[in-house]
Amino acid sequence: MTQHLPLETLIDYIHGELTPEADAAVHVHLTACPPCREEYAAEVQLGEALRASARAQEVEFPSMIAARTWERIRNARPGPLASLAIFLRPAIAVPLVLAIGFGAYFATPLGHAAKHDRTINASYYLEQHAGQQASDPLAERGPVPVMESSLVDTAPPAGGPNDANDAIH
């Protein structure tokens, strides 16, 4: 650079807002140009003076106001809306919603198919079992003989528990 740096470029250089190429060019120029180096030093001193002045003018928060504020915070009671918000926190609300959802699903026909007759026709299964027993000649127990209820002996057979099951089936 043959001419002096503009003030805006120096300020951007101080704040690190230049591209790497422009930053390198300004650095090279500052090492070779004493007037720009003086301007750079003046800008750095001005920035430091402004920061020192701002730190010196920081005002402490008045202790009486701070004490009253903390007292109000400690004595504050949440209103009904705040209490409701506290109650509906996710740690409580999610299980509550799930419980209500399961209750609504299982207590009402909501989402269920139309109700069907849910009785079991036991005679169908007994006839099917008897048919399978009669049609399987190699079954261990063989076909079940049909007896009248008055002829059936209520005492268990003398052979043991396995023989009693054989007689029932």
Considering just the CA atoms, what is the radius of gyration of the chain in Å? 48
pLDDT digits (tens, 9 = 90+) for 44-54: 999 999 988 88
DSSP string, 104-122: HHHHS-TTPPPP------H
The structure tokens 């690190």 sit at 16
Interatomic CA distance for residues 56 and 49, integer angstroms: 10
pTM score: 0.36
pLDDT digits (tens, 9 = 90+) for 106-143: 887 655 555 555 666 777 777 777 767 666 666 565 55
- Contact yes or no for 36/29 (Cβ under 8 A): yes
Domain parsing of the chain, residue ranges: 7-56
- Contact yes or no for 88/80 (Cβ under 8 A): no
- Contact yes or no for 18/26 (Cβ under 8 A): yes
